[in-house]
Structure 1
Amino acid sequence: MHPLGKIVVAALALVVFCGTAYGYVNLRALDDVTRDSVIDGDGGTKPGEQPADGSLDILLVGRDSRDDQQGKPLPPELLRELRVGANGDDLTDTLIVLRVPNGTREVKAFSIPRDSYVSMPGGKGKINAAFGRAKAAEARRQREAGETDKAKIQQAALTAGRRATRQAVEDLTGVKIDHFAEVNLLSFYEISKAVGGVDVCLKKATQDRNSGADFPAGPQRIQGADALAFVRQRDNLPGTDFDRVRRQQVFLAGLARQVLSAGTLADPGKVSDLIEAVKRSVVLDDSWNLLDFVGQMRGVSGGGIQFATIPVVNVDYRYDPDSPRATAVQVDPAAVKAFAASLIGAPAPTAPASPVTVDVSNASPRDGLASRVAGFLKDKGFTPGKKETVSSRRTSLVRFGPDLAERGAEVAKLLGGLATQQSAAVPAGHVEVVLGTVYSGPGVADGGGAPAGGDEPITSAGVVCVN
């Protein structure tokens, strides 16, 4: 059974944004939303504060849960309507960070692939397993300590899972998470219907039995079970999970436009339905004052959200020699941290006394990739060299002479942890970058790190067609 639709988790933030100009009083109804102690006691951002790292950061998490907020199983007829089976699991299949830089009204959203292979308590693993590991460990600890109340054990385990997920994201990205929101598939279903559907566009018609997807090519409006299928589908897509990430992002962009449109905000019934959907299935950290947050967000527009994905090293990483068919997404934490910091305008490294020229060769089918990567490296203090298209190759490589080993390694890290090679054939003062067909670091999409095939940047200003 494939995981739930990823984009559901963003709906909460969009409901909050809708109140920036219109629904402020109505948001008081969200006082009844479920809360949990996810953020450290001394770590919550206070109303009006400017976070020390330069950005208010919100972690949006989606869980493949077949239960409601009271822990009761969803009825079979509803599961049939959602086109999902009765068995869920304890994986967090959506991880999206919203960065709201201090003093700006541009929201930067970036996705973390669910299969990103990271370090965490209990040993390395896929980041979406952090929740389940901590949840199971805490439940076991509670029982061993003599606790017999099932509700208390369940709540303690859920809190531990949420905290572990937050910590795994912080460790990978270097971002201090200020607030947390969690949504399940039921709320996604209800929220997408509450706003009257979301406009999306597909490059080609597609069908998928597992998710229930059956869509024509071109622009279309989707809601309810169709919307869930749209963001759940990964089979029959050329980029599988990474195409699904692109779908999540374009759906979130469309949801932002729809929530912030006059047709939604001026309709008391739609606003009420939206708030009720959030109350039924969303979990927030207990330090988040939504009304104060609404005041801080005053002025965010429908086109003021930009989307990207963290850079990755290898989308087909064989991490277990004993299970050669097991795959994950390899990431370089240093490159991910640099990427996340760049979204709030972190200063580029100081240029070296002796300038280093970087020559970039594009061995992939992506038009303009060499120029975009050269521009990215220029912003980091390197001098652009020649840019050319060369014969296709699968993997990427950074080459340099023995006198530039340190700077060559720096370039490789900035581009997502590429392979390196020392070569006396590289001209003095130069580093050579070859970008292969599986390259998925900065520059793949203009201005972001989206790793899927479609290179058009995704923002909430308009509809982008995807696979």
Structure 2
Amino acid sequence: MLLATLGVAGLHWLTNRYDHAVGKQQLLAPAARQPRTDLSRGLNYLLIGSDHRPGANPEDQRSDSILIVHVPAGMRQAYLISIPRDLLVAIPAASGYGGGQDKVNAAYEHGGGGEAGARLLSATLGQLTGLRFDGAALVDFSGFKQVIDLLGGIRMCVDTEVRSIHTKTLFTPGCQQMDGTRTLDYVRQRYDLPGGDYDRQRHQQQMLRAVLDKAGETHLRNDPVQLDRVIRAVGGALTVDTNGVPLEDLLFALRSLPPDALHGVQVPSYPQNIGEVSYVVLDNGGNGLFDAVRDTRMPEWAGANPRWVNRL
């Protein structure tokens, strides 16, 4: 009984410390927000990776990564659905922006970046998919580098040789240990890759899987000092909107989600030039993907559409 009490107290302390470390904002637009989150019914979370660069204006930013994280009821598996950054969508009007057709990652910029940019992006995706989100998280990639470094780096498997357009680093095929800087440089690449942005999406999904794998290793759980550093680094890299659900309850609900239950999904789509501008457009309306998320039929959809499912 004493050990159980201490264990619960320790979990309370960690989640409370994390809760105070992470930033909180209203990232979801009212029309894109699930009125009430029920953790027993599964989750749909919007994950936005900001490509803020030193010296750039906060308003002049586009979302570098956009994922819908779908966790069916039971919390035993999760689908990482990557939204193509060049997907042609209708962006609703917002303060200072009249609305119109544009690439989906421009919604974050048109909204002014940060909290307001995330709200406009969520409204855009809600309108496109018919989904309402149970929460959202805005990830600062510069802070995420520290998380990877505190984990001791992660194992990434390079499948195609590519040279970074940012640092000129050459990534050669094979599985290798990468620190935070090298990892984020690699997962930002899309030029000179056979699948272009689709390969970039898959690499970002693989990075999330690798981070969860490393964070779940026994040595980290047995080292409270290092665990505390990782928790504070994660908190510093995240801004969240949990839709009123206590962060402790959310983490407790997801505690049984194993890393090997992650499935990477690409939105059925194809590139197309429109008015001399390169876009990505939905293939047959997304081939029923968003319907499957809304109706909690993702396992069936994934089985029927293996072309759009990534092995992580």
What's the TM-score, normalizing by structure 1? 0.57
Work out which of the residue numbers 89, 94, 113 in structure 1 matches 2:84.
113
- Is 1:159 the counterpart of 2:81? The answer is no
SS of structure 2 residue aligned to 1:39: coil
Shift of 1:295: 1.9
Taking a change above 3 Å as real, the CA distance of residues 347 and 251 of structure 1, as seen in their structure-2 partners, is closer
Residue number in structure 1 paired with 2:205: 249
Work out which of the residue numbers 267, 270, 278 in structure 2 matches 1:327.
278
Shift of 1:60: 0.6
Structure-to-structure mapping, 1:317-356, within 5 angstroms: 317-320=272-275, 324=276, 326-332=277-283, 334-335=285-286, 338-343=288-293, 344-345=296-297
Structure-to-structure mapping, 1:299-310, within 5 angstroms: 299-310=256-267
Residue number in structure 2 paired with 1:38: 27
What CA distance in whole angstroms lies between the structure 1 residues aligned with 2:121 and 2:194? 29
Q: Residue 249 of structure 1 contacts residue 458 of structure 1 at CA under 8 Å; is this kept in 2?
A: no
What CA distance in whole angstroms lies between the structure 2 residues aligned with 1:95 and 1:47? 21
Residue number in structure 1 paired with 2:71: 100
| Stretch moving more, 126-135 or 204-213 | 204-213
Taking a change above 3 Å as real, the CA distance of residues 159 and 104 of structure 1, as seen in their structure-2 partners, is closer
Per-residue CA shift, 1:143-169, capped at 9, x if unaligned? xxxxxxxxxxxxxx7432111111112
Work out which of the residue numbers 17, 26, 49 in structure 2 matches 1:62.
49
Shift of 1:194: 1.6
Shift of 1:25: 3.3
- Which structure would you say has the larger Rg? 1
* Counterpart code for 1:303: D
Q: Percent identity?
A: 25
- Is 1:87 the counterpart of 2:37? The answer is no
SS of structure 2 residue aligned to 1:318: strand
CA RMSD of superposed structures (Å): 2.9
Taking a change above 3 Å as real, the CA distance of residues 211 and 132 of structure 1, as seen in their structure-2 partners, is same
- Is 1:133 the counterpart of 2:110? The answer is yes
Residue number in structure 2 paired with 1:292: 249
SS of structure 1 residue aligned to 2:260: coil
Residue number in structure 2 paired with 1:432: none
Q: Residue 34 of structure 1 contacts residue 283 of structure 1 at CA under 8 Å; is this kept in 2?
A: yes
Residue number in structure 1 paired with 2:220: 264
SS of structure 2 residue aligned to 1:328: strand
Structure 1 unaligned residues grouped into runs of 5+: 1-18, 67-73, 75-85, 136-156, 350-371, 377-441, 451-456, 460-467
What's the TM-score, normalizing by structure 2? 0.83
Shift of 1:199: 0.7
Per-residue CA shift, 1:181-212, capped at 9, x if unaligned? 00122112111112111111123443224244
Residue number in structure 1 paired with 2:95: none
What CA distance in whole angstroms lies between the structure 2 residues aligned with 1:160 and 1:221? 37
Per-residue CA shift, 1:240-279, capped at 9, x if unaligned? 2221112111111111211112132222233212211122
